[in-house]
């Protein structure tokens, strides 16, 4: 299964494509951080990033899209830009008939590093290790996009139909996440 991972952002949008042969075997296909200039009109910036997202979708033809879930921050401007680009990604995927999975930053960190509070350098290190790269992709948004795609593969998104390719620890963690959502 080919997965596009997206770390949405209005200034830098990480785009990482991996192939997942099984729940734990993944390989790098493509990675980049699409950018838009901060001084440009927001509509123009969104259009620039939409074009970059469309280009990756058209060139690499993923089977699924994994996207970082927008979460509340103190900086409303950052949240707005992230939400706007997330909408662009979801629309582009929907128009191609692709499923979209959303993951919180802590879900991605836990899946890739084993620690939901891991620092960015640790995530980058693990992405490089998992993909057999000499060093983490730069900037961090690119590594984060790959981490999101890997999390999707490892959380069962790349499992053959009818199989349960998640580990016992992943199942316990997913159960805990579901219970927390019900309480919250």
Tens-digit pLDDT profile for residues 93-145: 999 999 999 999 999 999 999 999 999 999 999 999 999 999 999 999 999 99
The CATH number given to whatever domain includes residue 80 is 3.30.420.10
Domain that holds residue 143: 2-183
Has 41 been labeled as part of a binding site? no
In 37-165, the DSSP E strands lie at 64-68, 100-103
Has 7 been labeled as part of a binding site? yes
Distance spanning both ends of the chain, measured CA to CA: 33
CB atoms within 10 A of CB 99: 13
**Which band of pLDDT confidence, cut at 50, 70 and 90, is reported for residue 160?**
very low
Question: Which residues are identified as catalytic?
Answer: 7, 68, 141
Number of domains in the chain: 1
Q: Give the global pTM.
A: 0.84
Asked if 123 contacts 114 with a C-beta cutoff of 8 angstroms, the reply is no
Least Cα distance to 136 among 119, 114, 111 occurs for 119
């Amino acid at each position: 299964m080919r997965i596009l991972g997206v770390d949405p952002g209005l200034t830098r949008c990480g785009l990482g494509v991996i192939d997942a042969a099984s729940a734990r075997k993944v390989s790098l296909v493509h990675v980049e951080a699409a950018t838009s200039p901060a001084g440009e009109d927001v509509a123009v910036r969104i259009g620039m990033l939409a074009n970059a997202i469309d280009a990756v979708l058209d060139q690499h033809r993923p089977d699924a899209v994994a996207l970082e879930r927008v979460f509340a921050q103190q900086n409303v401007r950052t949240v707005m830009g992230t939400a706007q680009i997330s909408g662009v990604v979801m629309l582009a995927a929907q128009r191609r008939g692709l499923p979209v999975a959303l993951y919180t930053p802590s879900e991605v960190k836990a899946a890739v590093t084993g620690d939901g509070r891991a620092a960015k350098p640790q995530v980058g290190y693990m992405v490089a290790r998992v993909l057999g790269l000499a060093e983490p992709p730069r900037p961090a948004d690119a590594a984060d996009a790959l981490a999101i795609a890997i999390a999707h593969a490892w959380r069962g998104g790349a499992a053959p139909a009818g199989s349960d390719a998640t580990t016992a620890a992943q199942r316990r963690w997913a159960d805990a996440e579901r219970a927390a959502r019900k309480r919250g």
